[in-house]
A and B are shown apart, each in its own frame.
Chain A
Amino acid sequence: GAVVSQHPSRVICKSGTSVKIECRSLDFQATTMFWYRQFPKQSLMLMATSNEGSKATYEQGVEKDKFLINHASLTLSTLTVTSAHPEDSSFYICSAAGSAYYEQYFGPGTRLTVT
């Protein structure tokens, strides 16, 4: 199946700093990427839909100024958590959907810990 990578896999940052997470589709062009957040023992919550070359669409309750998404190419989307706080500590997962595929391929996730 298609491969999606995320970097970094783990990051620890201090409160008030910003963190950038990269999501790459390695062997296909992803017109659409999705960003999810998952708290311990909970399911995936969709944060935003990222479309190449256009602004991301955020789900209700997700602050677009806090979670900046950039989808500059067909293989890369980035999520920047700005002014991170301990409550932003979570598992962030991206997925990619190519135009030829009916399913989404998930990245391995990024564990963010804000101290």
Chain B
Amino acid sequence: GQNIDQPTEMTATEGAIVQINCTYQTSGFNGLFWYQQHAGEAPTFLSYNVLDGLEEKGRFSSFLSRSKGYSYLLLKELQMKDSASYLCAVRAQGTDKLIFGTGTRLQVFP
């Protein structure tokens, strides 16, 4: 079966660093995605990992360990506008389908 877990909610302070974890158990693996979604809007693409290691893109970085079925999204120098839901999604082998985790609602406080 497919199972993707993320914490439901997290809070952090403006300027801080926050790490959002995602663990997955899926039938085959062909990439892990992180999306940001503001309330009432569609998700926007943040990052893609298919090999183990860290991918850095500005204030956002994403890490993947395929052997552990684990990923995290790291957000640095948090800004108020980073308050949103962060969705972890896994693409199974041989398909373009994405299976989404429950999403993590992040609130950034001043």
Query: Does A44 sit at the interface, judged by CB under 8 A?
Result: yes
Query: Does B69 sit at the interface, judged by CB under 8 A?
Result: no
Contact A46 B48 (CB under 8 A): no
Q: Look across to chain A and name the residue whose beta carbon is closest to the beta carbon of B95.
A: A49
Interface residues of A (CB under 8 A from B): 1, 32, 34, 36, 41-46, 49, 91, 93, 95, 97, 102-109, 111
Contact of B102 among A43, A102, A111 (CB under 8 A): A43
Contact B45 A1 (CB under 8 A): yes
Known: A46-B98, A104-B33, A104-B98. 16 other contacts (CB 8 A): A34-B96, A34-B98, A42-B103, A43-B100, A43-B103, A44-B87, A46-B97, A46-B99, A46-B100, A49-B97, A95-B98, A97-B96, A103-B33, A104-B96, A108-B42, A111-B40
Q: Look across to chain B and name the residue whose beta carbon is closest to the beta carbon of A4.
A: B42
Contact B87 A43 (CB under 8 A): yes
Sampled A-B contacts (23; CB under 8 Å): A1-B45, A34-B96, A34-B97, A36-B100, A43-B87, A43-B101, A43-B103, A45-B100, A46-B97, A46-B100, A91-B40, A95-B98, A102-B48, A103-B33, A103-B48, A104-B96, A104-B98, A106-B35, A106-B43, A106-B44, A107-B42, A108-B41, A109-B40
Contact A32 B103 (CB under 8 A): no
For B42, list chain A residues within 8 Å (CB). 93, 106-109
Q: How far is B96's CA from A1's CA once the two chains are assembled, in angstroms?
A: 18
Q: How far is B99's CA from A36's CA once the two chains are assembled, in angstroms?
A: 11
Min distance, Cβ B22 to any Cβ of chain A, angstroms: 12
For B98, list chain A residues within 8 Å (CB). 34, 46, 95, 104
For B35, list chain A residues within 8 Å (CB). 106
For A49, list chain B residues within 8 Å (CB). 96-97
